[in-house]
């Protein structure tokens, strides 16, 4: 069974870049048909998809965040990463990584394995 674990700083200053890494265990990322996604949950409990990446590097981004987001994958380490630039207090959230099953023919996707979440606070 796949397990995902987020890691990274819990505090980021305004205008700086938030960086998180998700480590995958229980299988090789490149052997799955999954995309690998990032979702955040605001203090008000609203869920927001940030983006997803395939092991080959192909990405989908939330259009509302696309200008500030960069996803990357390192299959040798079985990890994928998120960078969110120019953060503000509105980016304070719990950040989850998750497996993202995407069916392009039927046009749907869902997230079935989730990490435990990493709280990131944006504050000076």
Partner 1 sequence: SYELTQPPSVSVSPGQTASITCSGDKLGNKYVCWYQQKPGQSPVLVIYEDTKRPSGISERFSGSNSGNTATLTISGTQATDEADYYCQAWDSGTVVFGGGTKLTVL
Binding site for partner 1 (CB under 8 A): 39, 45-49, 60, 62-64, 96, 101, 106-112, 114-117
32 versus 101: smaller Cβ distance to partner 1:
101
38 versus 55: smaller Cβ distance to partner 1:
38
Q: In what order do the strands lie in the sheet with 69-74?
A: 3-7, 18-25, 79-84, 69-74
> How many CB atoms are closer than 10 A to CB 116?
11
| Shortest CB 113 distance to partner 1, Å | 9
| Shortest CB 6 distance to partner 1, Å | 10
Alpha-carbon dihedral sign for residues 73, 78, 53, 82: negative
How far apart CA 9 and CA 19 sit, in angstroms, is 7
28 versus 64: smaller Cβ distance to partner 1:
64
| Shortest CB 124 distance to partner 1, Å | 28
Q: Could you tell me whether strands 11-12 and 69-74 are parallel, antiparallel, or unpaired per DSSP bridges?
A: unpaired
| Shortest CB 68 distance to partner 1, Å | 15
């Amino acid at each position: 069974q796949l397990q995902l674990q987020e890691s990274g700083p819990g505090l980021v200053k305004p205008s700086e870049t938030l960086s998180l890494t998700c480590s995958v265990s229980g299988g090789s990322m490149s052997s799955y048909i999954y995309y690998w996604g990032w979702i955040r949950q605001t203090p008000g409990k609203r869920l927001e998809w940030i983006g997803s990446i395939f092991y080959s590097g192909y990405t989908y981004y939330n259009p509302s965040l696309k200008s500030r987001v960069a996803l990357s994958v390192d299959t040798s380490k079985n990890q994928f990463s998120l960078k969110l630039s120019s953060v503000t207090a509105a980016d304070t959230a719990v950040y989850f990584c998750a497996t993202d099953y995407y069916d392009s023919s039927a046009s749907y996707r869902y997230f079935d394995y989730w990490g435990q979440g990493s709280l990131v606070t944006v504050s000076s």
